[in-house]
Amino acid sequence: MSVKEMKRILVTGAVGQIGSELTMALRARYGGENVVASGHRTAPGPELRDSGPFEFLNVSQRETLEAVVDKYAIDTIYHMAAILSATGEERPHLAWDVNINGLYNVLEVAREREMARLFCPSSIAAFGPETPQIDTPQETVLRPTTMYGVTKVAGELLCNYYVKRFGLDVRGVRYPGIISSETLPGGGTTDYAVAIFYEAIKHRRYTCFVREDTVLPMMYMPDCIRATLMLMEADVDQLVHHADFNLAGLSFSAGELAAEIQKHLPDFVCEYAPDFRQQIADSWPRTIDDSAARAEWGWQPQYGLAEMTTDMLEKLGQKHAEGTL
Ligand code: AKB
25-70: per-residue pLDDT in tens?
A: 999 999 999 999 999 999 999 999 999 999 999 999 999 999 999 9
Q: Residue 6 pLDDT more than 80?
A: no
Same domain, 158 and 95: yes
Nearest to 175 by CA among 42, 28, 284, 57: 284
User: Which residues line the pocket of ligand 1, CB cutoff 6 A?
Assistant: 84-85, 123-125, 148, 175, 177, 188-190
Say if residues 173 and 228 touch (Cβ distance below 8 Å): yes
Residue 85 belongs to a domain: yes
Q: What is the CATH number of the domain that holds 12?
A: 3.40.50.720
Q: What is the CATH number of the domain that holds 264?
A: 3.90.25
Given the CA of residue 284, which atom of ligand 1 is nearest to it? 6
Same domain, 189 and 173: no
pLDDT in tens, 212-229: 999 999 999 999 999 999
Same domain, 51 and 96: yes
Say if residues 170 and 162 touch (Cβ distance below 8 Å): yes
Can you give the residue range of the structural domain that contains 188?
181-218+249-288+302-322
Q: Residue 5 pLDDT more than 90?
A: no
Q: How far is the CA of 259 from the centre of ligand 1 (A)?
A: 23
Q: How far is the CA of 219 from the centre of ligand 1 (A)?
A: 11
Helix pair 221-233, 17-30: axis angle to 10 deg: 50
Residue 296 belongs to a domain: no
d(CA 16, CA 30): 20
Say if residues 120 and 271 touch (Cβ distance below 8 Å): no
Q: How far is the CA of 123 from the centre of ligand 1 (A)?
A: 7
d(CA 86, CA 8): 33
Same domain, 124 and 107: yes
Q: Name the closest-CA residue to atom 6, ligand 1.
A: 177
Same domain, 194 and 259: yes
Classify the C-alpha dihedral 37-41-45-49 as positive or negative: positive
Q: Residue 4 pLDDT more than 80?
A: no
Same domain, 57 and 108: yes
Residues 151-158 have a mean pLDDT of 98
d(CA 19, CA 80): 6
Same domain, 101 and 196: no
Same domain, 92 and 79: yes
Q: Residue 20 pLDDT more than 70?
A: yes
Residues 268-276 have a mean pLDDT of 98
d(CA 99, CA 81): 8
Say if residues 325 and 316 touch (Cβ distance below 8 Å): yes
Choice from 85, 215, 244, 275 to test ligand 1 binding pocket (greatest atom count within 8 A of CB): 85
Residue 293 belongs to a domain: no
Which parts of the chain fold into alpha helices (H)?
17-30, 46-50, 62-71, 85-90, 92-96, 102-112, 147-166, 192-203, 221-233, 254-264, 277-282, 291-297, 305-322
pLDDT computed for residue 1 by the predictor: 63
Same domain, 242 and 257: no
pLDDT computed for residue 2 by the predictor: 61
Same domain, 193 and 137: no
Residue 159 belongs to a domain: yes
Nearest to 223 by CA among 155, 311, 119, 289: 311
Same domain, 19 and 157: yes
Say if residues 194 and 176 touch (Cβ distance below 8 Å): no
Same domain, 84 and 190: no
Single-letter residue type at 168: L
% of the chain exceeding 90 in pLDDT:
98
Domain total in the chain: 2
